[in-house]
C-alpha cells in the first residue's frame, strides 16, 4: 500500500530526480532553450509545452516516396533498406528482412542467457530485460549499427541517440498502445523504435501486432482521456484507462490489425505514434526471443507522459 502511494505521489519522483542532475541535464537544457520556467526535477507532461510553437518530423508532413529519394543520406543506404523506407509516410513502419545475421543473433541469445543464468540482468516490468546494451557489446553493436542509425536519422530528419534496449524471452502480450505515452517528446514524434526478431516468430509464441497508418491519428496524451490524476497524484488506474481509450480509438477508426510473423534477423522500425502491441502467447512453453531499441532525436525534450517524469539519459 505504501509503495503504491509512493509510486503515484509526484513529490516522491521530484525528490529522487534531485539526485539525478547529470542524467537530467538534457531536460534542463531544453527548458532553458524553450524559455520554460521549470526545474529539471519537477513533474513534466505535454501540458507544460502546449503554449509553445511546435513542429513535426519532416516525413509526417509529406510523402516519403517523393521526399526520400531526394535525400543524399537515403541514397547512400543499401537498396533493400531504401525500399523498406519508401512507404514510411503511408504506413508508419518499415520492415527490413534478414538485417541481423544469424551469427549475431546467436551471440546475443547466448550472452543474454548467460546474464540470466548469472542473475545479472536488470529485470523490468513483466519480465523485460532492461538496458542490456549497457552490459553487452553485442547488443550495443546492433543498436548503434551505422546503417540502422543512418536510416533512423533520415526518417526523423534529425540525429538520434540510443536511449533504451529491452530484451524479451517470452511474448510481451502487451495491449495496443503508442510509445509516445511512455517515451514522449516535445516536439511530438521525435522518438523512433526498432524491433528485432531473435528467433522465428509464429502465432503460437506471441507475435508483434500493429495498425498500419495509425501513426497519422492524433496523439493520445493525458488530456485526451480520464486518467484520474491530479496536481500531486498520478491516477491509480491511469495506464489501464489509457489502454481502454486506445481500444476505443481502434474500434472507432475501424483499424485493421496486422501481425508480424518475423523470421530470425528481421527488424521492424516504427513511428513514435504507431499503435502496436503483443499478441497472446498461445503456447506458454515456447520462447519468443526478441529485442527492442528506443531512440530519441537529439535536442528535444524527453519525458514520460503518464508518470510525468523526465527521461533519464546517460
Supply the CATH classification number for the domain 45-310. 2.60.120.620
pLDDT at 1: 63
> From the CB of residue 23, how many other CB atoms can be counted at a distance below 10 Å?
15
Look at the block and give the residue holding cell 502546449: 50
Q: For position 170, what pLDDT does the model report? A: 95
208 pairs with which residues across the strands? 260, 278
DSSP calls for 133-154: GGT-HHHHHHHT-HHHHHHHHH
CA distance linking residue 105 with residue 289, whole number of Å: 10
Check residue 299 and give its pLDDT. Answer: 95
DSSP for 36-60 reads ----TTS---GGGGTTS-----GGG
Q: Number of C-alpha atoms within 13 angstroms, CB side, residue 27?
A: 30
Order of all β-strands in the sheet with 290-297? 93-96, 267-271, 191-197, 290-297, 160-168, 129-130
Q: Which of 85, 80, 81 is nearest to 65 (CA)?
A: 85
What pLDDT does residue 23 have? Answer: 96
CA–CA distance, 178 with 220 (Å, rounded to integer):
8
pLDDT at 275: 98
Q: Rounded distance, CA 96 to CA 94, Å?
A: 7
The pLDDT assigned to 314 comes to 84
Report residues of the chain scoring pLDDT below 50.
Answer: none
Pairing verdict, β 309-310 and 301-304: antiparallel
**Angle in degrees, CA 215, 183, 28, rounded to 5:** 130
Q: Which residues pair with 192 in a beta bridge?
A: 271, 295
Q: How far is CA 287 from CA 12, 154, 193, 282, in A?
A: 37, 34, 22, 11
Q: What is the pLDDT of residue 125?
A: 82
Q: Please report the pLDDT score of residue 244 as a whole number.
A: 97
Q: What pLDDT is recorded for position 230? A: 83
- Cα 43 to Cα 17, 30, 304: the distances in Å are 9, 15, 10
pLDDT value at position 9?
83
**CA dihedral of residues 205, 126, 18, 41 (deg, nearest 10):** 60
Beta-carbon contacts of 154 under 8 Å, excluding residues fewer than 6 positions away, are 68, 71, 73, 74, 77, 85
Residues 6+ apart with CB under 8 A from 224: 218, 245
> Residue 113's CB: how many other CB atoms inside 10 A?
12
| Non-local CB neighbours of 303 within 8 Å, separated by 6+ positions | 27, 44, 45, 184, 185, 186, 309, 310, 311
What percent of the chain shows pLDDT beyond 70?
A: 99
pLDDT at residue 7, rounded to an integer: 79
Amino acid at each position: 500500500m505504501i509503495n503504491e502511494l509512493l509510486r503515484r505521489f509526484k513529490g516522491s519522483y521530484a525528490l529522487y530526480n534531485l539526485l539525478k542532475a547529470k542524467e537530467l541535464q538534457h531536460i534542463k537544457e531544453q527548458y532553458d532553450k524553450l524559455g520554460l520556467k521549470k526545474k529539471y526535477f519537477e513533474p513534466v507532461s505535454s501540458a507544460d509545452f502546449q503554449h509553445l510553437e511546435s513542429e513535426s518530423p519532416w516525413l509526417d508532413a509529406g510523402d516519403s516516396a517523393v521526399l526520400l529519394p531526394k535525400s543524399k543520406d537515403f541514397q547512400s543506404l543499401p537498396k533493400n533498406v531504401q525500399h523498406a523506407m519508401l512507404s514510411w509516410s503511408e504506413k508508419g513502419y518499415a520492415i527490413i528482412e534478414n538485417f541481423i545475421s544469424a551469427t549475431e543473433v546467436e551471440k546475443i541469445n547466448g550472452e543474454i542467457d548467460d546474464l540470466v543464468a548469472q542473475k545479472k540482468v536488470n529485470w523490468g516490468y513483466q519480465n523485460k530485460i532492461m538496458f542490456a546494451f549497457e552490459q553487452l557489446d553485442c547488443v550495443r553493436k546492433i543498436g548503434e549499427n551505422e546503417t540502422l542509425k543512418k536510416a533512423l536519422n533520415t526518417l526523423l530528419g534529425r540525429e538520434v541517440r540510443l536511449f533504451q534496449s529491452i530484451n524479451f524471452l517470452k511474448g510481451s502480450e502487451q495491449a495496443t498502445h503508442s510509445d509516445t505515452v511512455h517515451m514522449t517528446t516535445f516536439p511530438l514524434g521525435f522518438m523512433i523504435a526498432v524491433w528485432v526478431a531473435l528467433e522465428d516468430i509464429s502465432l503460437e509464441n506471441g507475435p508483434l501486432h500493429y495498425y498500419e497508418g495509425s501513426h497519422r491519428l492524433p496523439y493520445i496524451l493525458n488530456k485526451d482521456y480520464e486518467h484520474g490524476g491530479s496536481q500531486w497524484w498520478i491516477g491509480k488506474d491511469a495506464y489501464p484507462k489509457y489502454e481502454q481509450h486506445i481500444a476505443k480509438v481502434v474500434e472507432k477508426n475501424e483499424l485493421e490489425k496486422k501481425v508480424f510473423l518475423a523470421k530470425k534477423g528481421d527488424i521492424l522500425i516504427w513511428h513514435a505514434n504507431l499503435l502496436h502491441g503483443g499478441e497472446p502467447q498461445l503456447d506458454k512453453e515456447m520462447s519468443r526471443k526478441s529485442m527492442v531499441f528506443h531512440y530519441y532525436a537529439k535536442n528535444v525534450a524527453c519525458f514520460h507522459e503518464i508518470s510525468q517524469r523526465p527521461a533519464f539519459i546517460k
